[in-house]
Structure 1
Amino acid sequence: MPTASGSGGLSAARLGRMHEVMAAHVAAGAMPGLVTLVSRGGDIHVDVIGRQAFGGAPMRRDTIFRITSMTKPVTAVAAMILVEECRLRLDDPVDRWLPELADRKVLRAIDAAVDDTVPAQRAITLRDLLTFRFGLGMIMAFPDRYPIQRAIAEAGFAPGPVFPAFAPDELMRRYGALPLAYQPGERWLYNAGTEILSVLIARAAGMSFGQFLRERIFVPLGMKDTAFHVPAEKRDRFATSYMRDHASGELKVFDDPERGKFANPPLFENGSAGLVSTADDFNAFAQMMLNGGRLGAERILSRPSIELMTTDQLTAGQKQGSELFFGDNRGWGFGLSVFTRRDDLCSVPGRFGWDGGYGTSWYSDPREGLTGILLTQRMMDSPQPPATLSDFWTLAYQAIDD
């Protein structure tokens, strides 16, 4: 059953219901185990169910998970730290720090040949990268049918569970060799913006991206297990990652803790999907966001910066083609999703956060003072959210007791 640390307006009986439903998902073999965290009004409820791997060690409260795209809001916070120090400006061209993106060419049309281009109407800005509107990213047409999709794949940026593993300068050389699919500011395209921000932040800060995150976010917030790899002495707490084998329908190991992609420091510290973390570590970040940039005595950002980050920045036209991500009830701020319309228990306007494709989810709700974190390592294999994730958010909101 969950461990709790106060009252805070959550029903103990209804949190027990969450435990029963989540335990049933594990018992049915959907994943070997999971950790849930629900926080409200200073009350933190953590539930630890199952094992870190099928046949492996028991799941722990401090088990380490690959949080993949939950890395994006962390990267956006890092960028905003530099904005608040006036070392970066939202609407300045990024050419100074990313000359590879200067003087862009843009496809004449999305289905044009990659050399059928026109000049960009303006330079790419930091705001474009934060809002995923700089002109490159995931083009939601499956199977691939446009020349630009093939060019993106050949450059090493194809959508999928395996992330780019190039050194930062090589990553930027490859991005710089591609034409933009759309004019800067024209369309929202997933993922590439925060990859490039990893390089921009490192160059502007004069240190590695990982070092900047440690010094300015992780150490101040006490996020002792959040990093871009898992050292040997912590691997007994590192969950195994699974994906479904489409031929057999069975789950198979995707990433092994001892020999996998996170066992050593990466060549590229990926600001889109590269971090590992724990429930309590990420809750420290989430509470900082929910508290307007402060956790205890530590202020990471100002309240106005948090409010800007968690405000929908997109027009309907900019969302065109990416309806799979937004439906009709959410938009995008800086590095995270923002709900704009209520049509479900958890679809509360102003609720912000994001999911990770390896089976994780985080959102915080200022109206309710609620944070929820779900950590599994069962890879999402459908555009529809898995039942475990949908049930978690239903159960988090039905537990509100006022």
Structure 2
Amino acid sequence: MKRILIIPIVLIFSFCDSPSGELSKISSSVITYQKALIAHGITGSNIARVYKDGDVLVHSIINSNNENDMAINENTIFPIWSMTKPITIVAMMILYERNLYNFDDPVSDYIPSLGKIKCKNEDSVYNCENKLRIIHLLTHRSGFRYYSSGPGNITHADTVFNSLSEYIDSLAQYQPLEFEPGTDYMYGINQAILGGLIEVISGQSFYDFLSKNIFKPLNMNNTKFYLTEQERENFQILFKKSVDGKERIFSNDNDQLTYRMGSKMQFGGEGLVSTFNDYSNFCQMLLSGGLFNGQKIISQKSIELMIEPHTINILEDGYYGGVDFGFSLFNLQEPILDGTNSSKGIYGWSGYHNTHFWIDPKKKLYGLFMTRTVPFSFEIQKQFRAVVYYNI
């Protein structure tokens, strides 16, 4: 496997855009931003699109041309990590529209082991007083968080368990909640549990449900939980940096998930791989009120339920950045504090290896950016949005 120290970053670029040959202001600004990310060692090759009112305003691929990086295109495969979450939420809304569950249903009605959950406080672990309800998983208000070790750790679970039901039963037995369900917000493994819930409610494997109801109608043919040997050749290499940027490598050795064929460990919060074209179709569907090529995936009402804030005014380090949180989607409610000139009511999400998207219902616009680098930074999405909204 490739593991090579990269100092310095090679500053050679390629791009494709404007058929007229003269770049618009927004195109020029986005491309300049993409080049700056590479020039300053923030990302390797990257791809961006801005779509508005039926037109692609920007579609730009910037390849670093570094000998250790990969040249990417619209069909390069990326691990999308937490951009899996909005897909899982759409799947839940499909089942909701079929009247197969209610938001306030106890999860234990479907997964009995989650009726015996433990909570913890500063002094002890005790039997939770509140029931864990589906709405708590949808909104990250369950008390489950992300775990660096133990049964809740996704990387560990990917190789230890044989099914989502085994994983969830282990969580119920060994992983106490950080607080009483419904009483606070903590980002965590909730959508991984929802994947198991979808299996129970639908009677299908999680991937089979997604494939039939979302991926096939949206022509998302390269979005899945596994990679074939051939597909691994088209799997974008990871640009891994130390926090201070002094160490930078391109590596195939840090996938963290196996993406093995036949695995039933299909994580609804983290596990999908996808391509730029595939996820663009997903964004297009959300922007179009749940429609794609004339076919309804979900209703506009369901989208409104997804983005309605349930957790508001969260302070991080004493600061509120203007975004509230719905069903695993941010919703910008105070644009002046966001500082990007973005519209009120935009919503979206990002993935651990720096894939980012947002939907702007007001301006009928979406933005999508993909690269593969760590550490994660939400600043990439904010900077991308600023470049768009200050030039549109």
TM-score, shorter chain, exceeding 0.5:
yes
Match of 1:337 in 2: 330
Query: What is the 5 A alignment of 1:291-302?
Result: 291-302=288-299
Query: What is the 5 A alignment of 1:148-297?
Result: 153-158=148-153, 162=155, 164-165=157-158, 166=161, 167-177=163-173, 178-245=175-242, 249-253=246-250, 255-256=252-253, 261-262=258-259, 264-297=261-294
Alignment pair present for 1:399 and 2:385: no
With over 3 angstroms needed to count, the CA separation of the structure-2 counterparts of 1:391 and 1:265, relative to structure 1, is: farther
Q: Runs ≥4 in structure 1, deviation > 6 angstroms?
A: 257-260
| TM-score where L is the length of structure 1 | 0.83
CA distance in 2, matches of 1:202, 1:326: 39
Query: What is the 5 A alignment of 1:44-123?
Result: 44=56, 45-50=58-63, 54-107=67-120, 109=121, 111-113=122-124, 115=125, 117-121=126-130, 123=131
Sequence identity percentage: 27
Q: Which moved more, 1:212-221 or 1:174-183?
A: 174-183
Alignment pair present for 1:134 and 2:142: yes
Match of 1:29 in 2: 41
With over 3 angstroms needed to count, the CA separation of the structure-2 counterparts of 1:203 and 1:325, relative to structure 1, is: farther
Q: Report the RMSD for the aligned CA atoms in angstroms.
A: 2.8
| TM-score where L is the length of structure 2 | 0.85
- Deviation, 1:265, is 4.8
- Deviation, 1:399, is 3.1
Deviation per CA, 1:344-391, whole angstroms, max 9, x where unpaired?
Answer: 23443211110111111111111111111110101135xx534x4443
Runs of 5+ unmatched residues, structure 2: 1-14
Could you say what secondary structure the match of 2:75 adopts?
A: coil
With over 3 angstroms needed to count, the CA separation of the structure-2 counterparts of 1:228 and 1:51, relative to structure 1, is: farther
- Deviation, 1:325, is 12
Match of 2:359 in 1: 364
CA distance in 2, matches of 1:333, 1:325: 21
Deviation per CA, 1:180-207, whole angstroms, max 9, x where unpaired?
Answer: 2211210111022111001110121111
Runs of 5+ unmatched residues, structure 1: 139-151
Which of residues 344, 348, 351 in structure 2 aligns to 1:349? Answer: 344
Match of 1:305 in 2: 302
CA contact (8 A) 1:2 1:16 kept: no
CA distance in 1, matches of 2:87, 2:268: 8
- Deviation, 1:301, is 0.6
Could you say what secondary structure the match of 1:243 adopts?
A: strand
With over 3 angstroms needed to count, the CA separation of the structure-2 counterparts of 1:399 and 1:304, relative to structure 1, is: same
With over 3 angstroms needed to count, the CA separation of the structure-2 counterparts of 1:242 and 1:3, relative to structure 1, is: same
CA distance in 2, matches of 1:154, 1:43: 46
Amino acid at match of 2:371: T
CA distance in 2, matches of 1:74, 1:248: 33
Amino acid at match of 1:105: K
CA distance in 2, matches of 1:255, 1:101: 37
Amino acid at match of 2:370: L
- Deviation, 1:227, is 1.0
- Deviation, 1:292, is 1.3
CA contact (8 A) 2:43 2:373 kept: yes
- Deviation, 1:14, is 2.5
